[in-house]
Amino acid sequence: MNYNQHGNTLTIYLEGRIDSNNAENVASEINEIVGSSDHANVVLDLKKLEYISSAGLRIVLRLRKANPTLKLINVTSDVYEIFDMTGFTEMMPIEKAYREISVDGCEVIGEGANGKVYRIDKETIVKVYTNPDSLDEIRRERDLAKKAFVLGINTAISYDIAQIGNCYGTVFELLNAKSLAACIANDPEHIDHYIDLYVDLLKKIHSTVVKDGDMPDMKELALSWVGIAKTYLDEDSGNKLEALVQAVPKCNNVIHGDYHLKNVMIQNDEALLIDMDTLCVGNPVFEFGSVFNAYIGFHAQDLQHAGEFLGITADTSFEVWHKTLVKYFGTTDEKKLEAIAKKAKVIGYIRLLQRAVRRTLHNGEDHSASIVFYKKELTKLVNEVDSLAL
């Protein structure tokens, strides 16, 4: 066995087999290592451990008794099954090893603030998180996806966590599935059919109600954006903006938070939702703010680039936005649609303004032109809107 110490954590690496023939020697070596180091936490890395018998399990029990924070990591499937069958997984933190996969040369079928989605083969996709310390985020997203699935929302269910280089990802099985963006780009003649699937899924999401505290409240996040936006608006506009968002009724209806063509997969003519880390609750206006940004808002300063992120033309991007509103709200009345669009734009531009400010202040990037643009748009819209609720 090998070991190293980083800060207050002592990590011991076990390899091979632990059974009645060598358990006594293994215990002695572990005790010697633990006794000779000054540490607060002990971790057993079992990536190369092939088997552990009941004699080995007793070693783990004794070690945990002496070190209550003991954690086991990188446990292979066979060894993990032993710990699980004997109840050890309920007694202490035990983390399975993650299979390693490569995304070199794989098609990128989705991309968001937290990572990219790759197609590994015709049956499998993987969402790779940008943050190397993303395991808690992954587990959170899986919990949210599970809740959505149980509530009847068509979601792609994750069945594995994988390691991709220094990062981690969630693996989904999606046999021959394509993103809705790819479907529309490759088959524009049937755009109305795809919009029907897209909006029907969105309505199902929005009609789903969860208990208080089950998911984050989007209104609270939007108010934090307003706090940043207000510092760039005149006092009257800033106060009215805050009042408009405050007045949006609280509700526990689910919203996706990042609903666009690359986060909906089509499998056997059925729409499936992916990228679930943004799931929250709130009024649909918060959803349509992000929808507007996906198709227009992000490129509002240069509309010829609208749709590039989604792999569609600018004209198609505008068309998807308009058809989505028509289908969702059941009207072709352009005055009504424009009134709805203005409410969505307010939310969308609040988000984009705070995003530009944050990137300027914290990332050292120059987004001053964007800040001026979004400030101007918000000031105009706030004076034209008396309510944001949809």
Q: Strand 178-179 relative to strand 264-267: parallel, antiparallel, unpaired?
A: antiparallel
Higher pLDDT: 122 or 198? It is 198
Q: Residue 17 belongs to a domain with what CATH number?
A: 3.30.750.24
pLDDT-based confidence at residue 38 (cuts at 50, 70, 90): confident
127 part of a folded domain: yes
My answer on whether 154 and 284 are in the same domain is no
My answer on whether 265 and 213 are in the same domain is yes
pLDDT of 159 > 80? The answer is: no
> pLDDT tens, 325-336?
999 999 999 999
Q: Residue 117 belongs to a domain with what CATH number?
A: 3.30.200.20
123 part of a folded domain: yes
Q: Distance between CA 269 and CA 177 in Å, rounded? A: 9
| Residue 270, domain extent | 178-382
My answer on whether 317 and 336 are in the same domain is yes
Residue of 178, 167, 165 lying closest to 125 (CA atoms): 178
198 part of a folded domain: yes
Sequence length of the chain is 390
46 part of a folded domain: yes
My answer on whether 150 and 182 are in the same domain is no
My answer on whether 78 and 157 are in the same domain is no
For the residues of 245-288, what is the DSSP string, one character each?
Answer: HHTSPP--BEE-SS-SGGGEEEETTEEEE---TT-EE--HHHHH
My answer on whether 333 and 274 are in the same domain is yes
389 part of a folded domain: no
> pLDDT tens, 207-239?
999 999 989 999 999 999 999 999 999 999 999
Q: Distance between CA 113 and CA 116 in Å, rounded? A: 8
390 part of a folded domain: no
Higher pLDDT: 35 or 240? It is 240
One-letter amino acid at 304 equals Q
Of 9-23, 27-41, 236-250, the least confident: 27-41
My answer on whether 359 and 294 are in the same domain is yes
Residue that finishes a domain, picked among 128, 148, 173: 173
My answer on whether 34 and 113 are in the same domain is no
Look up the pTM and report it: 0.79
Residue that finishes a domain, picked among 97, 131, 153: 97
Residue that finishes a domain, picked among 43, 65, 97: 97
206 part of a folded domain: yes
Asked if 349 and 377 touch (Cβ cutoff 8 Å), the reply is yes
Give, rounded to a whole angstrom, the gap between the first and last alpha carbons of the chain: 62
My answer on whether 304 and 239 are in the same domain is yes
146 part of a folded domain: yes
38-52, 172-186, 309-323: which is most confident: 309-323
My answer on whether 159 and 199 are in the same domain is no
pLDDT of 171 > 80? The answer is: yes
My answer on whether 248 and 325 are in the same domain is yes
My answer on whether 186 and 76 are in the same domain is no
Q: Residue 240 belongs to a domain with what CATH number?
A: 3.90.1200.10
Strand-pair partners of 172: 125, 158
The pLDDT of residue 85:
94
Instruction: Please state the domain count of the chain.
Output: 3
Sign for the pseudo-dihedral over CA of 286, 288, 289, 293: positive
pLDDT-based confidence at residue 362 (cuts at 50, 70, 90): confident
Q: State the average pLDDT for the chain.
A: 92
